[in-house]
Structure formats: structure tokens, C-alpha cells
A and B are shown apart, each in its own frame.
Chain A
Amino acid sequence: MSAMAAPAEAAASNRILEIRDLNLSLRDDHGWVQVLNDVSFSVRPNEILGMVGESGSGKSMTALSILRLHAKRDAQLSGQIQFDGHNLATASEGRMRRIRGRHVSMIFQEPMSALDPVFTVGEQIAETVRRHFGVSRKEAFERAVAALDSVGIASPRTCAGLYPMALSGGMRQRVMIAMALVCEPKLLLADEPTTALDVTIQAQIMDLLLELAQKTGTSVLLITHDLGLVAETCDRVITMYAGQIVEEGRVRDVISNPQHPYTAGLMRSIPDAHRPRGGLSSIAGRVPSFRNMPEGCRFRPRCEFVEAACSQTQRLTETGGHLVRCHRARQLSLEGAPA
């Protein structure tokens, strides 16, 4: 990964998004706490980039940082988020408003909480169009209907007049996708877009999402806890743990040859009819609290391969074809999925 090239030029040429040393601190009742630690990665044109990790690993925080959706008073952002020639970490609020929904849009896990219950879905999609393109109400509504049609809703005009509560979970998520892609953004942040859905509906939605992204030339950052989903849909994958990137590489490489014990642990935890009952290997313990982060490798307290040297700071280095934050990566041969 030649990600260390001059960021500004790289962003202009073959990177949609270039994030350098992103640090995020949030404030709660007990003071400030750092939740993202030197996160650096980039998204290429037309790429589907997966981001996996448990709850609390910092996946959603990364996405929210890109759109600067944290409350200003309670969040401190540092580092570079280069997008379209601007550093989103320091861009003005006015610039952010022009970017959100137009050039970078986001889909959330629970569509019901992202849709406004007192407006019809047609009105909500049209609002996005009007804000960014300044077209007439009528024209915006027509574009909303066209967007609903493009996400495979059988009678888009009727659907446009419905309130979110009248729709099923799968339909709501289709509406969210229509809204996110109506302005043909360059980058779509999809945060667990199918987690709340049945597996058959998940397959429909993922298919639709990928097809539309390809059509509009949109790159996708797919945040999920489901490594299977990543294996099937993404080009590259990033594993996050406790606010840091611990592994990054091409999906096939990572899945068939995981280098970080955490990635391997996530893969082995997936239940399977062919593993003996009661014999699932899980990852002991849980994600440490950000106030109580262990020194050195943050995964150390849960890692089965821990040794004394693990208490030293671990760097993300290239090992076996991808980036890994584990000094033992070369010595371990971790079980992957058959390629």
C-alpha cells in the first residue's frame, strides 16, 4: 500500500477519500476520552471497502467523523480527512452542509430512526434534491419518484405518498438507499445497512446497493460486524479494534490468510453447523474501556498468543501482503477460510 504518498496529490488522482492520523476525542460526564487513535486509510474510486469489528471498536465513529456528525462541543477531531480537495476535519459548517447528502451520504442501521415520521418518504427525498440542486418542488418530487423506482419499489408514486411507519423494514431501507443515492454521491457510508433485516431481505438490499453504486460510480464504505458479508461484497477490508486499525488488506488475502489474532478470532466465532456444539471458539473477554486502555497492543488482554513484548507499542506494518498491527504476525499461522 503506497498510502504514504503526498496526500493532496493522491486525493486528487486515485483516492476518493484519504484519511491521515485521524484522532477523535469525545466528552461525556466523566471528561474527555479518545475513541479513535491515528486512523489512516483511503477509499479508491468505485471501490467497496469493508470495515469490521465488534461494537465499540470505532467503526461508526470513523464514519460519523467523515461527515462531522458529532456535536461540536463534545467532540475534538484532529488529523486530515481529504475529500475532493478539502480537509473535512477543518472545513466550515457551510461547506459540510453542501457535502453531506450531495457528495458523501450515509445509510444507518435502523431506517426508522433515520426517517422523519411526520413527512412522507417522497417529501423527505425531494428535500435532499431541492437543497442541493435548487430545483422546483415539482421537479424534486419527480426525481424522488424516479429514485424510488430505481430501488425496485413496485409502485413508486404511491410509495412516495406514504409515511415511513406504513413501510416494512426492507422497504424503509430501500427508501434510505434511494435518499442516499438520489444526488449520485461520490462516497456512500453504509453503517450496518442490513443488520436489522432478515437474511433474504439482506441479500436483496446488498444486491441493490452494489448494483446502484456501480451505476452511479459511487464508492462504498461498508461498516458491518458480519465478515461473511464482507467476504461476499467488498474489495478490501479494514479490521478495527478499540479505536485502531489492526489489519487492512484485500478481502481474499485477509479472509484466507488473516494475520491479526483478532481478525482470526472474529472469523472463528461465526457459528456453523459443522462445528461441534459447545465448541465454538470465541474471543475471551471484551473490548476494553477507552478510559482503561492497556499499554502496547490493545488486544493483548484477550489474545491467546500474548507474550512480554506485546506490552510495547504496536505499529501497523506490512506483513504477508497486508497491513497488520501485531509484531508476532509473521510467527503465527492463523486459520483462515478456504480460498
Chain B
Amino acid sequence: MKLPAATVKDLHVTFGGTVRAVDGVTFTVEDGEIFGVIGESGSGKSTLGRCLVCLINPSDGEVRHRDVDPFALSRRQLNRHRRRCQMVSQDPNAALDPRMTILQSLCEPLNIAGIGSREKRREKAYEMLDRVSLAAEFANRYPHELSGGQKQRVNIARALMLDPELIVCDEVVAALDVSIQADMLNLFSRLKDELKLTYVFISHDLRVVSHISDRVAVMYFGTIVELGPAREVMDRPLHPYTEALGSAEPKLAADAAERRGRIILQGEIPNSAKPPTGCRFHTRCPRAEARCSGEVPATRELMPGRYVACHFAEEMLARHSDTTTIRPGDNGARAATAQPVELRHDGRA
């Protein structure tokens, strides 16, 4: 078996000495896997993604791409190493130079890396356009002539120009209409199979992440609160935060009973300079008890491959086993575990 595409060990990223954007995160991204990262704005998921492609230096901890520690490389070596890990970001407009044609934008990474002749670079650009299902005539257009979905396809094509192994996708479908979104998600999974890629798929949208990912990590306030196989985590969440996220997601088949049982988290992610004591989620958690504000919950492996950091994870696991079998697509099972909870807006119970 190949080495993991990325290994992250106890990673910390601190800004300005006080803001701990990523605060002790550990996981591996297996070769050929789609690893999803879910979280609200401010959870540190984008910082984590940028750190994974070496755009931000960690303050502490370790990132490895296979057996390489990219942050130990010399500047020259790092620039060369960057070809292996690429990033596609949310705003397709900001990522393309309005004065360059699509062809020029696509060839730019190869120009910088000094790979191939002019002819070869153009050939590769046309090949990548084809891969993302854009007609060859798009090559000579400018970004403003393209729709949002088409621009995002160009960004993907450009990320593929250097034959990367790992692609970090940061909210890549957030700005798109739902029908275009579906197209893009299909495209991502096709490219993964065709080019043997590994993705880290970052999004705030539970439906998107759970659909495309093999495994997901749920982030809150710089830490991973739950990690496991995507379907498992969605159907049987073991952390109250994951449960609340799933419950807040609007559902087509929602009925009145389920709506009443919905968990609405009060308040917002706290000020990042002043993290809450104990469990970071306790200020908004519907289950919080006294010990939660004093004691940081340890991350435990409750079932093979399922990691949770919550004092009540075992209880939640026991309750899931009580609710007998869970049919696929059965949202009712999730709603049954949801207790209506009233909290004041400042988040204290």
C-alpha cells in the first residue's frame, strides 16, 4: 500500500500570537481518498487547507506529503514540491486574471515551472480543457465571457496542469447554483477516478461534503470534534455539534414533527482570541454540563475509524444502538434523537 497522501500530526497555526486558527489537529489522508472537512466560518477549515498546500507555515506540529516534510525543504525545493499539491478556491473570479485569456491562464503554471515547450504547454492546456468538458474555443476567451460554473471548470483545469497528486478544494461549489453544483460534483468524482487524484474537500455544506467524501472531519473552533466514514458520521453522529449541523440542514422531506425536534444552536462561534475553557463547544452545546467547561474532552476511537471528542460520545453511541436498524435515507432516526432545547441567545444554558 502507498504511503498516505498527507499526514497531519498535532498541527497548530497561530496568527498574531493569540488567534489559534488551527489548534492541534491530527489526521491522515489516504492515497486516492476524498477527505471532507466540514465546519462553520471561523472553524479553521480554510487555514487548515492552506497549510496543507504549504501556503501558510504551521506554528507547531507536522505536515507530510507521503514521506516528505514540505516545511523542512529549502525554498527552491519547496517551489518544486508545490507542483504536487494544488488548491482550487471558492471565488472563480478572484482566481483568474481578467486580462489573460483562458489559454494564457492555463499555461501560466507550466511557464513558471519551466516545463515543456510552448507547443507542449498549449497541447496540455487543450487536453485539460477537454478533461473538464469545456470546448476548445474557450481557450481564446477572457474570464468575463464565461459563467461562474465555466470559470470554476477553468480553475480546476489549471490546478491539473502540473499533474498534482493532492488537490485541496476549498468551498469550490459554494458560489454555484444547485444544478451547476451537481455537475461540478460529478466532474470532481470523474477526474478523481481518471487521474488517480486525492482530494481534501472543504465546505460548510454538509450535503456536499457527505455526498462526495469517503471520510469526513468535523471542525469546530480549530479542532476536529468528530472524524469517521462520511455516511456513518451523517447517519449516526456521535458529537452534539455534528448532530446539530445535520439537524439544521433544510430537508425536502421534512415534516412538522421533525421540524419541532430540530436542534437550533444558539449564538455563534466565540471570539477566536478568547477560546472557552474546557470543551470549546460547551457555550453552544445543548448537552453541556458542569464538567464540560472545566475539562477538555479527549479524542477517543469509539469504533474502528471513528474518532470523537465529547464527554458524552459513549452515551450517544449507546442510544444509536438502541434505535435498532437505521434504514438508508431515513431521516426520522436522526430526528428521534434530537431533543428540543431552549437556550438563551448568549449561548449559556
Contacts and interface: CB of A to CB of B under 8 A. Distances in A.
Interface of A: 54-55, 152-154, 168-171, 198-204, 207, 225-229, 231-232, 255, 265-275, 277-283, 286, 337-339
Interface residues of B, number: 48
B328 A274 contact: yes
Contact of B252 (A55, A231, A279): A231
- Chain B binding site: helix, strand, loop or mixed by DSSP? helix
13 contacts: A198-B40, A199-B249, A202-B248, A207-B264, A225-B178, A232-B251, A269-B178, A271-B181, A271-B205, A272-B210, A275-B211, A277-B189, A280-B183
A225 B178 CA distance: 7
Interface in B52-69: none
A255 B259 CA distance: 16
A320 to B, nearest CB: 18
B328 A226 contact: no
Interface centre among B208, B211, B244, B262 (most CB of A within 10 A): B211
Interface centre among A227, A266, A274, A279 (most CB of B within 10 A): A274
B252 A337 contact: yes
A283 B179 contact: yes
B122 interface: no
Contacts of B253: 231, 255, 337-339
A198 B248 CA distance: 10
Contacts of B264: 200, 203-204, 207
Contacts of A272: 207, 210-211
A278 B189 contact: yes
A297 B123 CA distance: 40
Contacts of B149: 286
A146 to B, nearest CB: 16
A163 B20 CA distance: 26
Interface string B321-349: 00000001100000000000000011000
B265 interface: yes
A204 B251 contact: no
B245 interface: yes
A279 B147 contact: no
Contacts of A227: 178, 252
A279 B183 CA distance: 9
Contacts of B34: 277
A132 B180 CA distance: 43
Contacts of A168: 268
Interface centre among B193, B245, B252, B266 (most CB of A within 10 A): B252
B204 interface: yes
Contact of A204 (B178, B245, B252, B266): B266
Nearest to A199: B248
B77 interface: no
Interface in B138-197: 147, 149, 177-183, 185-186, 189-190, 193
Contacts of A226: 178, 250
A200 B211 contact: no
B265 A280 contact: no
B316 interface: no
B177 A273 contact: no
Given A55-B177, A204-B264, A231 B254 contact: yes
